[in-house]
Amino acid sequence: VIGEAVPPAQKSSWASFLKSIASFSGDLSSMTAPPFILSPISLTEFPAYWCERPELFSAIADARSDEERSMLVLKWFISTLKGQYTSRNEKLGSEKKPLNPVLGELFYGYWPDINGRGQTNLVVEQVSHHPPITAYYIENKAKGIALQGHSAQKTSFSGGSIIVKQIGHAILTVNLPNGRKEEFLITLPKLRIDGLWYGSPYIELCDTSYIQSSTGWLSTIEYKGKGYFSGKSHSFKAVISRPGSSNAAHTYEGLWHLTSKDIKTGAIFTDVTSPKEEVSTYPIEEQDDWETRRLWRWVAKGIREGDFETASKEKGKIENEQRQRRKDEQAAGTQWELKHFEHIDSDPIYERLGKLLKANPPTEDTYVYKHNYHDHPPQATA
């Protein structure tokens, strides 16, 4: 029988949702799903997952060599995966369908300076609605590190699972004491959403992703689920290789949602079993109408309280307002202007580092942060 985890009254709408995704590929976010699978959180909040262990992010700046910096970047990256891909299961019981952000939706947050790690600020903007694309900029000024990226998805259906190819990439920039800058191109793993039949979806990561440094150091991360390497879910194996060499200088293996080890020394490499630090935000009363938690607050309240009639009425209001806005723009011959990001057709850093990686495709567009957000995140006072 379908949907052990589906409330009895929603079983038939879950069955038709599954049928429709099986014969569909493209933008899942726009599809109507039964209420039990809806999340009250918009996709614009997801970039915060990159920094929920802020001390690992800031530690990158303290590396004493290019080799050590590549190790610390890999350590930080692997430590973000648990939040990125399992936190809805932990918080909401299963993976859920996030709110589909509107064009221009914003999310601001920060992690305060504690123990000299410096304050890290987060700026997120929904830069496209069709297809959904989210751009983000995360910066720790005191430490001289910043992450700029954008995220979109292409979905397809295979063997009862949804396959999500992540489109976009992230660039981590580290200012070094000698005035040099080191850049890292971070590519994103492919996702498989399993457990759909039972109505309790969860993510498994597949294939390979890379972190290519401008110094030539390269991390290659292979993801496997049950039945591979260790036979366990959420397994990975990461190899760091020296500039110009494909031999492994360091190899790590383990579970990205628990712990991993250096296979030569047996030393712990990553450990995400301790609590993470969620992003700090500003009170809703102080937020702008375009800020995600304010924009979606009545929809989110409806979903959280099981009042789906209110949730869908409020969602309808937002969508109608958006439709009207697009019509008005068309009539006036104007276009929506992005607030914090500028679109460019080809990212020069991706192109340069992609060559070292032999990345396919050789060029990608990107959204460049305009460095124009000075008013909100309070800077730590001495």
* Contact residues: ligand HCR, CB under 6 A: 28-29, 33, 37, 46, 49, 84-85, 95-98, 151, 153, 164, 166, 191, 193, 201, 203
Using the minimum distance from each CB to ligand HCR, give the nearer residue, 66 or 194: 194
Per-residue 3-state assignment (H helix, E strand, C coil) for the chain: CCCCCCCHHHHHHHHHHHHHHHCCCECHHHCCCCHHHEEEEEHHHHHHHHHCCHHHHHHHHHCCCHHHHHHHHHHHHHHHHHHHHHHHHHHHCCCCEEECCCCCCEEEEEECCCCCCCCEEEEEEEEECCCCEEEEEEEECCCCEEEEEEEEEEEEEECCEEEEEEECCEEEEEECCCCCEEEEEECCCEEEEECCCCCCCEEEEECEEEEEECCCCEEEEEEECCCCCCCCCCEEEEEEECCCCCCEEEEEEEECCCEEEECCCCCEEEECCCCCCCCECCCHHHCCCCEHHHHCHHHHHHHHHCCHHHHHHHHHHHHHHHHHHHHHHHHHCCCCCCCCEEEECCCHHHHHHHHHHCCCCCCCCEEEECCCCCCCCCCCCC
Min dist CB 188 to ligand HCR, Å, is: 7
Using the minimum distance from each CB to ligand HCR, give the nearer residue, 33 or 172: 33
Min dist CB 253 to ligand HCR, Å, is: 23
Using the minimum distance from each CB to ligand HCR, give the nearer residue, 201 or 254: 201
Q: Measuring CA to CA, which residue among 41, 356, 368 is closest to residue 216?
A: 356
Using the minimum distance from each CB to ligand HCR, give the nearer residue, 121 or 155: 155
Using the minimum distance from each CB to ligand HCR, give the nearer residue, 49 or 298: 49
Min dist CB 138 to ligand HCR, Å, is: 12
Min dist CB 136 to ligand HCR, Å, is: 9
Q: Measuring CA to CA, which residue among 345, 335, 334, 337 is closest to residue 368?
A: 345
Min dist CB 203 to ligand HCR, Å, is: 5
Min dist CB 96 to ligand HCR, Å, is: 6
Using the minimum distance from each CB to ligand HCR, give the nearer residue, 46 or 367: 46
Question: Hey, CA dihedral for 170, 376, 44, 340, is it positive or negative?
Answer: negative
Min dist CB 155 to ligand HCR, Å, is: 7
187: phi then psi, degrees, rounded to nearest 5? -95, 165
Using the minimum distance from each CB to ligand HCR, give the nearer residue, 217 or 223: 223
Q: Which residues fall within 8 angstroms of residue 246, CB to CB, at 6 or more apart? A: none
Min dist CB 242 to ligand HCR, Å, is: 29
**Is the N-terminal amide bond of 47 cis, ω within 30° of 0?**
no
Min dist CB 201 to ligand HCR, Å, is: 4
| Chain centroid offset of residue 17 CA | 25
Using the minimum distance from each CB to ligand HCR, give the nearer residue, 97 or 250: 97
Using the minimum distance from each CB to ligand HCR, give the nearer residue, 160 or 362: 160
Min dist CB 177 to ligand HCR, Å, is: 31
Provide the β-strand partners of residue 136: 124, 149
Using the minimum distance from each CB to ligand HCR, give the nearer residue, 38 or 359: 38
